[in-house]
Structures are given as C-alpha cells and as structure tokens.
Amino acid sequence: MSHATLSPKRGGTLRGATLPKWFPWAVAVGSIAAGLGISAAAGLGSSIQWALIAAVLFVLGSYAISARIEGRRQAKDRVATSLVWVAFILAVIPLASLVWETVKRGVQVLDGYFLTHSMGVVADTEPGGGIYHAILGTLEQVGLATLFSVPIGVLTAIYLVEYGRGRLAKAVTFFVDVMTGIPSIVAGLFVLSLWVLILDMGPSGLAGAFALCILMIPVVVRSTEEMLKLVPNELREASLALGVPKWRTILKVVLPTSVGGIITGVMLAIARITGETAPVLLLVWGTDFINANPFKDPQESLPMYIYLQYSAGSDPAYDRAWAAALTLIAFIMILNLLARGIARWKAPKTGR
C-alpha cells in the first residue's frame, strides 16, 4: 500500500536525464583552460593561483551544470566526487614532485662507482666520491636496531594481547604510547647520556642502534598488537579445545595467521628509522672513511651523509646529497615492496 501512494507522486518514471561519462573530464579540461586564461589575463605568475582557480571552477561548474540537467541529488553527488578528486590530486602533487625532483637531480652522479666508494680522500668541494660507507653504516645500524627491537616488540605485543590483564598491561600500553611520541633527538640524548657520558663508551654504530631501538620498539608493538587482535578468537578456542597448550596455540596458530601483517609492520618500522638523522648525528658522529665495525668508532649513515653533504655547500656536494637521497628513497621503497610481497605470500589462503 505504501508504493501505491508513492509512485503516482513520483511521476511513475525511473528514468532521469544523465550526463555522459566524459562530462567530468570535459569540465576539468574546461576549468583548467579557464584558470589559465584568467591568470594570463590578470597577469598572475604563480601556478598555484591558476590551479586554485581551476579547482574552484571545476567543483562549481560540475555542480551548476549537473543541477540544471540531472537534478540536485546527482549534482551533490558530483560535488562530493569532485571534492574527493581535488583532495586526491592535492595529496599527490607534493609526493610526485618530490620523487620527480629527487630522481632528476639524483641520477646525475648515481652510478656503480658512487655506490661502491667512500668519501675517504675526496674533499667536499671536489666531484667524485661515493656513499659506500654510508650504505654500510645504515645497513648495520638499522640491522642491529631491528635485531634488538623486533623480539622485544613482538613479545611485548604478545603479552599485551594474549596474557595482559590488569594494571601491568595498562602500564605497558601507556608507556608504549608515550614512547611513540618521543622525538628522535630526545631518544638520541637519552642514549648519549647513558651510554656515552655515564658508561663512557665512545661513538659507534651500536650506540646509534640503541637510539633507533627506542624509536622502533613502540611502532613494532603497536602494529603487532593490531595484527594479533585481528586473529579471530574462534581459532584460539579451536586450538585450545584440541588440548593444545596456550603457548603452542600462540606459536602455531596465532602467529602464523598474523605473520604477514607483523612482517609488514616491522618493515614499515624499519623504513621509519632508516631516515632518522638526529640520533645518528649525536651517537655515530659520521666519518668519511669506511668503518665496517658497528661496535667501535664513528660510522656514517645515509641521512647523515645527505645532511653533511648539503651543509658542505658546494655544487658537487649538492649532487652527492641528491644522489644519496635517491638511494635512501629507493631503499625504503624496496623495503615497502618486500613487505607487501611477504604480506601477500603469507596471508591466509582462501583459494579452492
């Protein structure tokens, strides 16, 4: 009886006027042209200005045209869609331009020689030299930090999700939250005062790795915790009901189910600490020579190399800084891709 009263009111048709598929593209092209035209006419130099004009015109234009032809509801839908697109493009612009700029400037000196030589006998103002010592230092420091933080982080997360009840768990969660917010320079200062000043150890890759640990552990705990929480309780109960002890249940059922996500989290945490400069600057000091021993004497690392080369201020040093930045970005990108690959490979299979 309800549709009996409804359908006459609506006019009884399900069909409405629809704009063609290319409509948004046409409006986009039109508004960009209009934006360029307006800014040329008004003599505005900046590309930000015409882009803003074009974006506003795009949103308004799609609403106005669509409201006239399709009706208000579809017009609102188009406004929402175009706002999403504008936001997406705004977010992508800095990312794309960063990658573009780094690649453009970085490839100038990036070659096999650059990757396999140090800055040993090269002055900052001369061309040549390379980042071998920095790559080595970064790999060793990040490797050590990962070696320390992953077991601590994963075990903490297992405690919090599987065993933690009551006050201790709350306290641990609270401190993990606090640790997440520690600025990297403070982590560096903490290790500096404890390891270098009180225990009187010299600068080394290990000291840097300790500071990186402080930054990495909370990230690993958080991401692992989330992944473990995603494992359905039914699986734990199924295993327990088979007479499997709790620790074996965690080891053989819970962890394998979530290992893809945990590895992704660890990789992302590694990517985060690889770019840290401040603690490395305080604790590893930096050197122009190859030092393969992370336990003694200063080392180099990629972010610090970029910083030092950039502050050296000569043209060859700028080029080297860009090339090192490109190497760092590529390294982190490869880690991310690896993480995705592993996550996909380890994900619970549903195929028939």
Give the interface with another protein as residue ranges (CB under 8 A).
165, 232, 234-245, 248-249, 252-253, 256-257, 348-352
Question: Which three-class secondary structure state does DSSP give residue 351?
Answer: coil
Q: Which is nearer to another protein, 120 or 256 (CB)?
A: 256
CB 293 within 8 A of CB 150: no
CA distance 110 to 344: 32
For residue 53, which amino acid is it? I
Q: Which is nearer to another protein, 79 or 240 (CB)?
A: 240
Q: Which is nearer to another protein, 181 or 351 (CB)?
A: 351
Minimal distance in Å, beta carbon 157 to another protein?
A: 18
Q: Which is nearer to another protein, 48 or 238 (CB)?
A: 238
Q: Hey, what are 13's tokens?
A: 């048709």
CA distance 64 to 71: 10
Q: Which is nearer to another protein, 234 or 315 (CB)?
A: 234
Minimal distance in Å, beta carbon 201 to another protein?
A: 44
CA dihedral over 130, 134, 136, 142, signed as positive or negative = negative
CA distance 185 to 200: 20
Q: Which is nearer to another protein, 36 or 172 (CB)?
A: 172
CA distance 258 to 149: 18
For residue 70, which amino acid is it? E
Minimal distance in Å, beta carbon 264 to another protein?
A: 16
Minimal distance in Å, beta carbon 92 to another protein?
A: 35
CA 167 centroid distance within chain: 33
Minimal distance in Å, beta carbon 217 to another protein?
A: 27
Q: Which is nearer to another protein, 88 or 345 (CB)?
A: 345
Give the residue ranges of DSSP H helices in 199-314. 205-230, 233-241, 246-249, 255-274, 278-283, 302-312
Minimal distance in Å, beta carbon 250 to another protein?
A: 11
Q: Which is nearer to another protein, 275 or 341 (CB)?
A: 341
CA distance 320 to 108: 9
Minimal distance in Å, beta carbon 220 to another protein?
A: 21
For residue 68, which amino acid is it? R
CB 247 within 8 A of CB 198: no
CA distance 244 to 240: 5
Minimal distance in Å, beta carbon 236 to another protein?
A: 8
Question: Which three-class secondary structure state does DSSP give residue 299?
Answer: strand
The CA–CA distances, whole Å, from 135 to 92, 132, 269, 352 equal: 29, 5, 18, 44
